[in-house]
């Protein structure tokens, strides 16, 4: 699969620490550089038939449909699309007007991931989102009107401007809109963000973990009661609508990341990442040089990643694969560390897979990290 990072946004959300620029001055140069990178890295993926193409960001919907199509055309010079390929475009609600959607419906893009975050005005103001509550709802309906049925929305819970009752209304609205996939995350205070600054100055209160815990488990129960499958800690889908892009990450498949700050993985032991600086990225590619760094993952790194990723999903960690990949000290460490966790009930073994029972999923990252080799 291929991931394309579009490093532009209209404005900076208060909680965001992703790489992007609010200036479009070098957009043309950036798109040219990305096409150059596609060419230079065309031989890195072993499988030339793609099952997933994902436009992330930033805000990919800030591009014109012609610009999106030109990137797709460039990829098709060196790769082919599987018959059931999933091509996802992340989009902000305010970009999904009728003209954009009408044009987009004529492209190979067949899935939209909409950055809704909330259907409530106060939440959106706190997050400094570019859209309002009305656009959050109407954008979904417009996308459906233009034939986009494979939709996902992002929702954020545990905000200081929210509470359990507001969260219930957000989830109810999502179900009413017949959205088949939801990615939902607790509001996190990242370093060097506007949100961190506001909290440090006492302008707003810090998110409360106990409230986020309560809202997480309400969400899980409510969405399952309404036909969703909770297939990863932060992801819910109706049957047949699992994100192919995310599922490939969680199953350790190879992927190629194009654009500044994008990451790549060869499916075995090499991970690489592009420079998180637009100007440096453009300059490097203009000279036909890649703007990436890479590392060889040690056995310990591979073990830690397999534990972290696997324990966040309904599939868990495949113990037979783990045994085949790792032996000696790593296997001894693993067997010793899981004993107490199994006794506590925070880990279980089912059908040769190690899993965290769903009632402990809110603490999944902490449980997994206890098993790491450091």
**Cβ neighbours of 306 (radius 10 Å):** 18
Domain extent listing, the chain = 2-250, 299-369
pTM score, two decimals? 0.93
Instruction: Tell me the C-alpha to C-alpha distance, in Å, between residue 25 and each of 10, 129, 147, 337.
Output: 12, 22, 33, 52
Quick one: how many helices (H) and strands (E) in the chain?
A: 14, 15
The answer to whether the CB of 371 falls within 8 A of the CB of 307 is yes
Provide CATH code, domain 299-369.
Answer: 1.10.10
The answer to whether the CB of 233 falls within 8 A of the CB of 264 is no
Which superfamily does 2-250 belong to?
Answer: tm_1862 like domain (3.80.30.20)
Tens-place pLDDT, residues 36-90: 999 999 999 988 999 999 999 889 999 999 999 999 999 999 999 999 999 999 9
Tens-place pLDDT, residues 150-174: 999 999 999 998 899 999 999 999 9
**301 alpha carbon, distance to own chain's centre:** 21
Same fold yes or no, 2-250 and 299-369: no
Please tell me the predicted confidence (pLDDT) of residue 60.
95
The torsion angles phi and psi of 151, rounded to 5 degrees, stand at -115, 145
Cβ-in-10-Å burial (0-12, 13-18, 19+) of 28 comes to exposed
Q: In what order do the strands lie in the sheet with 263-265?
A: 263-265, 270-274, 292-296
């Amino acid at each position: 699969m291929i991931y394309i990072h579009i490093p532009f946004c209209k404005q900076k959300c208060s909680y965001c620490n992703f790489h992007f620029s609010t200036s479009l001055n070098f957009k043309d140069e950036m798109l040219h550089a990305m096409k150059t990178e596609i060419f230079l890295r065309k031989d890195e993926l072993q499988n030339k038939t793609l099952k997933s193409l994902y436009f992330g960001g930033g805000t990919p919907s800030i591009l014109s449909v012609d610009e999106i199509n030109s990137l797709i055309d460039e990829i098709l010079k060196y790769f082919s699309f599987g018959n059931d390929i999933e091509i996802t475009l992340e989009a902000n609600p305010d970009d999904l007007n009728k003209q954009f959607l009408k044009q987009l419906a004529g492209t190979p893009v067949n899935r939209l991931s909409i950055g809704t975050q909330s259907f409530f005005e106060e939440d959106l103001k706190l997050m400094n989102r570019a859209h309002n509550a009305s656009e959050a709802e109407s954008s979904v309906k417009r996308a459906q009107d233009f034939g986009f049925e494979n939709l996902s929305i992002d929702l954020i819970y545990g905000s200081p401007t929210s509470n359990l009752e507001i969260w219930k209304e957000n989830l109810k609205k999502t179900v009413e809109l017949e959205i088949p996939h939801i990615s939902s995350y607790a509001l996190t205070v990242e370093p060097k963000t506007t949100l961190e600054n506001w909290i440090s100055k006492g302008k707003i209160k810090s998110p409360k973990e106990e409230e986020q815990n309560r809202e997480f488990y309400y969400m899980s129960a409510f969405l399952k009661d309404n036909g969703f499958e909770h297939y990863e800690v932060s992801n819910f889908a109706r049957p047949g609508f699992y994100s192919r892009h995310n599922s490939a990450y969680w199953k350790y498949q190879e992927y190629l990341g194009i654009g500044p700050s994008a990451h790549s993985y060869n499916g075995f032991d090499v991970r690489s990442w592009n420079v998180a600086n637009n100007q440096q990225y453009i300059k490097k590619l203009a000279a036909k040089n890649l703007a990436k760094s890479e590392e060889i993952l040690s056995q310990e790194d591979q073990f830690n990643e397999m534990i972290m990723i696997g324990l966040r999903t309904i599939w868990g960690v495949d113990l037979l694969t783990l045994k085949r990949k790792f032996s000696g000290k790593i296997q001894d460490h693993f067997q010793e560390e899981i004993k107490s966790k199994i006794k506590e009930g925070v880990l279980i073994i089912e059908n040769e897979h190690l899993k965290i029972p769903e009632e402990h999923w809110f603490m999944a990252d902490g449980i997994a990290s206890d098993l790491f080799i450091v």
